[in-house]
Amino acid sequence: MSAPTRNAAAGAAALPTLAAARAKGTPIVMLTAYDYPTARIAQAAGVDVVLVGDSAANVVLGYSSTREISVDELLVLTRAARRGVDGIPLVGDLPFGSYEPSDEIAVATARRFVDEAGCDAVKLEGAGAMLSRVRAIVAAGIPVIGHVGLLPQSVSTPDGYRAQGRDAEQALRIIADGVALEAEGCAALIVEAVPAAVASLLTARVSIPVIGIGAGDGTNGQVLVFHDLLGLGEGHVAKFVERYAEGRAVLEDAARRWADDVRAGRFPRDEHTYAIAPEALAEVTERLGRE
């Protein structure tokens, strides 16, 4: 592990519950949420941290890429999730194009997520030129979570979603990026779709919490996309997803049974219907008759 810089020390302290979990060796559980009900479910399930991911682009807004969601769209969803989360950190994902152009733009966007949506931290993808963005956002007093490995915002075609770090060069790059992000003050890291051994090496080389998705069990915690976990989506899911429910099938079945009941005259029944006093109804009928 490299000697911590001043920024790194500040970063490690920025999300204290996650830092404490890493220190104790308690796995950190992060789940995405995108609105009030999903945030309430995440909180009730006892997760440690909620991420309003730009995966909302795909799973909520129906875009084909995370690159398509705008800041304004994600802010609406993040504000809704904020209303459902209390007492655990809420992390906002900075959308594609909203932080890369300059440090000033990155800080301005991050501030919107804090001021307009009540985020406790923001997340951004990549290192390299993004190290300066991290430094600037951290200097503005906003905790940042870094994201290395597979970077969905850098993928422009559906077949571009591939595991990263499977050769030595790439693996070393991912580890070096994680170390550099810590040095710039990141409070935690997400590592996506890399071999477990690479994620473990990265985790051992930084002192901030490392949360994996498709990165094996050697990290300090796990994150999954709400809709993947609960089986709400359609089509292909990544190898690293485990469905804990077939939510879509359950919901579709309920909607179909209701539609069948309406068509068959089984809904609504008396218990779904408001009454009117007979004398009031008599008066209505009588007055209508007079018109």
- Active-site residue list: 192
Report the residue closest to ligand KIV, judged by CB.
Answer: 53
Query: In whole angstroms, how close is the CB of 150 to ligand KIV at the nearest point?
Result: 9
Tokens of 14: 């920025």
**DSSP bridge pairs for 212:** 191, 222
Return the amino acid letter for 132: S
Name the minimum Å distance from CB 288 to ligand KIV: 57
Quick one: 124 or 180, whose CB is closer to ligand KIV? 124
Q: How many angstroms separate the CA atoms of 146 and 153, rounded?
A: 13
**Which stretch of DSSP H or E encloses residue 211?**
strand 210-213
- CA 68, CA 73: separation in Å to the nearest integer? 10
Distance, CA of 51 to CA of 81 (rounded, Å): 9
Q: Does residue 268 have a cis bond before it (omega within 30 degrees)?
A: yes
The C-alpha atoms of residue 3 and residue 207 are separated, in whole angstroms, by 10
Shortest distance in whole angstroms from residue 52 CB to ligand KIV: 8
Q: What are the Cα distances from residue 43, in Å, to 33, 37, 149?
A: 10, 10, 27
Which CB atom, from 32 or from 43, has the smaller least distance to ligand KIV?
A: 32
Query: Smaller CB distance to ligand KIV: residue 152 or 195?
Result: 152
Q: Which two tokens stand for residue 26?
A: 């308690």
Least distance (Å) between residue 171 CB and ligand KIV: 20
Q: Which is nearer to ligand KIV, 136 or 225 (CB)?
A: 225
Nearest Cα to Cα of residue 26 among 52, 47, 11: 47
CB of 156 to ligand KIV, least distance (A): 16
Q: Which residues bind ligand KIV (CB under 6 A)?
A: 32, 51, 53-55, 93, 190, 213, 223, 225
Q: Taking the CA atoms of 167, 170, 171 and 172 in sequence, report the sign of the dihedral they define.
A: positive
Output the CA–CA distances (angstroms, integers) from residue 115 to 92, 108, 121, 196, in the order listed. 11, 10, 11, 37
Asked if 106 contacts 124 with a C-beta cutoff of 8 angstroms, the reply is yes
Q: How far is the CB of 92 from ligand KIV (least distance, A)?
A: 10
Decide whether 71 or 287 has the Cβ nearer to ligand KIV: 71
By beta-carbon proximity to ligand KIV, the closer residue of 70 and 139 is: 70
Mode of pairing for the β-strands spanning 144-149 and 210-213:
unpaired
